[in-house]
Amino acid sequence: MINNKKITPKTMSLIDLLTGNAGNQVAQDAENKFGISKNQVIALLAVAAPLVISYLRKKSQDDPNEAEALNNALDKDHDGSVLDNPAQVADRQQEGGSILDHVFGGEKANVENQLSQNTGISMDKIGPILGMLAPLIMGYIGKEKQSSGVTSGGGLGDLLGGILGNASQQAEGQSTNPINDILGSVLGGGSSSADSGNPLGNILGSFLGGGGNQQQKGGLGGLLGGLFGGK
């Protein structure tokens, strides 16, 4: 009997990225290199990943040229292999900084300042650590792009929105640990208003300050403070 059932490649959720081998190894490497606790780095990744994805989604939706440029960059430099060999991100830190320069543009310093204030990671280390995380995040997006079959910039907005939506649902259903709570808090504001305004305002402004509609949870600032021992 011939089985014509189509085999769909397995996708990887944001929570898988945070709790899996790749995220943990990069966090361990960052701890060894910068003296920042592994938990702090993972929590920073839990904020930085949806933030980067939200910015890229907005760029892709607003400008077809940006969408095609991102599509080409994913095909050329971010095929997902970094997830199988996460040790390479330490050597790609400078590249990661350039990625963040493009993603955040003139808001990069503000993003770093907000993250520094709310994670307790000093300003002189937040940028370099984010530089290590950026290739990992891009590799994750590239792998999801391959799994989904997206072949052009036109489909990236929906792909990135789907990543955020799926992660939000998963975090809500499994919010039994600090990382899930952090991811759920970030995505709870970023996804609901992702089509309007600025992702920085939607995510950082509402949640890192502990304000917005997440006050009943203490805000992301409270979650981070609890995880880091009030640092």
Comparing 197 with 10, which gets the higher pLDDT? 10
Q: How far apart are CA 35 and CA 181, in angstroms?
A: 25
CA distances from 128 to 7, 50, 94, 107, 189 (A): 40, 18, 8, 16, 27
Percentage of the chain exceeding pLDDT 70: 74
pTM of the model: 0.80
- Residue that the structure tokens 């305002």 belong to: 201
Structure tokens at 216: 């009943």
Name the nearest CA neighbour of 180 among 197, 165, 167. Answer: 167
Banded pLDDT at 108 (limits 50, 70, 90):
very high
Q: How far apart are CA 128 and CA 93, in angstroms?
A: 7
Comparing 60 with 11, which gets the higher pLDDT? 60
What value does the mean pLDDT take over residues 48-62?
91
Lowest-confidence segment of 63-77, 118-132, 161-175, 190-204 by average pLDDT: 190-204
Q: How far apart are CA 45 and CA 26, in angstroms?
A: 10
pLDDT in tens, 114-149: 888 877 889 999 999 999 999 999 999 999 999 999
- Residue that the structure tokens 């204030």 belong to: 117
Structure tokens at 114: 């907000």
3-state class (DSSP) for residue 152: coil
DSSP 8-state code for residue 37: -
Q: Is the pLDDT of residue 197 over 80?
A: no
- Residues present in the chain in total: 231
Q: Is the pLDDT of residue 159 over 50?
A: yes
Structure tokens at 76: 């050329």
Banded pLDDT at 218 (limits 50, 70, 90):
very low
CA max distance for the chain: 63
Structure tokens at 89: 């991100």
